[in-house]
C-alpha cells in the first residue's frame, strides 16, 4: 500500500520505514492537492495538529476537509476533530467519518477503571484491531425478515463475526437475537485481515 503524506510543518520526512511519498505543503491549497494524485487515492485521512489550540486545529481540519472534498466529490474522508462542537462542521465540509480521540480514550479509560478483574480491555482491543477488520455489509437476500441470531450463524460459516447492525443511522450492538433484519439495515461484522479481500 502506497501512502502520500502532506505536511506543512516539515521540509522533508525524517524517517523512511514505510513506502511514503512525502509532499511539503498546505493541503488546503488546490495546487498541493493536485500533487497528491487524489483521483487515484482510495481514501484521505486528515489528522489534527495537536501543537495548536483545539479551536485552531479544528478550524484547519474543517478547511482541509472542505478543500479535499472540493477536489474529489466521492472519496472517503476521515477527519480527526478535537472538540465536539466542530464535528458537525466537519461533516458539512464533507467528512464521511469523524474521529474524536478524546471520546475514544475516555471510553477506554472508563472500561479499564470499571472492568471485571480478569478482563483487560486495552489489550483485547489492541489484539482485535491487529487481527480483525471492521466491515459493514448489506443484508443478504436470504436473510431479509430473518432473526439476527440466524444471521450470526450464517456468517459464522464464513469466518465472520456479526456484532450488530445499523438501522436508520442508529447503531445496535449485540441486539436481541429475535430482531428481524430489514432491507435497509447495515450489518456490522469483524473479518480477519486475511479474509477481508473476499468481501470487497
Question: pLDDT exceeding 70 applies to what percent of the chain?
Answer: 96
Strands 20-24 and 132-138, by their bridges, are unpaired
Question: Residue 163 has which C-alpha cell?
Answer: 456484532
- The answer on 97 and 18 residing in a single domain is yes
Number of domains in the chain: 2
Cβ atoms within 10 Å, residue 73: 7
For residue 71, being part of any structural domain is answered with yes
Look at residue 111 in the predicted model and tell me its pLDDT: 80
pLDDT for 123 beyond 90: no
CATH code of the domain in which 81 resides = 3.40.50.720
Rounded Cα distance between 200 and 187, Å, is 15
CATH code of the domain in which 178 resides = 3.30.70.1450
Domain of residue 37, residue span: 3-104
Q: Say whether pTM exceeds 0.85.
A: no
- The answer on 140 and 71 residing in a single domain is no
Look at residue 1 in the predicted model and tell me its pLDDT: 56
**Ordered alpha helix ranges (H), 36-114:** 54-71, 87-93, 101-113
Of residues 18 and 151, the one with the higher pLDDT is 151
Question: Residue 103 has which C-alpha cell?
Answer: 471520546
Amino acid at each position: 500500500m502506497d501512502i502520500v503524506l502532506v505536511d506543512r510543518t516539515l521540509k522533508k520526512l525524517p524517517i523512511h520505514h514505510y513506502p511514503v511519498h512525502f509532499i511539503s505543503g498546505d493541503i488546503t491549497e488546490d495546487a498541493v492537492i493536485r500533487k497528491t494524485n487524489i483521483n487515484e487515492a482510495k481514501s484521505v485521512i486528515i489528522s489534527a495538529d495537536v501543537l495548536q489550540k483545539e479551536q485552531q486545529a479544528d478550524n484547519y481540519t474543517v478547511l482541509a476537509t472542505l478543500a479535499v472534498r472540493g477536489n474529489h466529490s466521492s472519496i472517503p474522508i476521515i477527519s480527526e476533530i478535537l472538540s465536539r462542537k466542530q464535528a458537525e462542521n466537519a461533516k458539512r465540509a464533507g467528512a464521511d467519518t469523524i474521529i474524536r480521540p478524546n471520546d475514544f480514550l475516555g471510553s477506554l479509560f472508563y472500561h479499564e477503571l470499571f472492568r471485571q478483574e480478569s478482563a483487560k480491555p486495552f489489550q483485547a482491543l489492541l489484539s482485535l484491531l491487529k487481527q480483525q477488520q471492521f466491515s459493514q455489509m448489506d443484508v443478504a437476500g436470504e436473510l431479509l425478515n430473518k432473526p439476527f441470531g440466524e444471521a450470526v450463524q450464517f456468517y459464522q460459516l464464513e469466518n465472520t463475526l456479526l456484532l450488530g447492525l445499523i438501522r436508520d443511522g442508529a447503531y445496535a450492538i449485540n441486539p436481541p437475537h429475535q430482531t428481524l433484519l430489514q432491507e435497509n439495515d447495515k450489518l456490522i461484522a469483524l473479518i480477519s485481515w486475511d479474509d477481508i479481500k473476499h468481501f470487497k
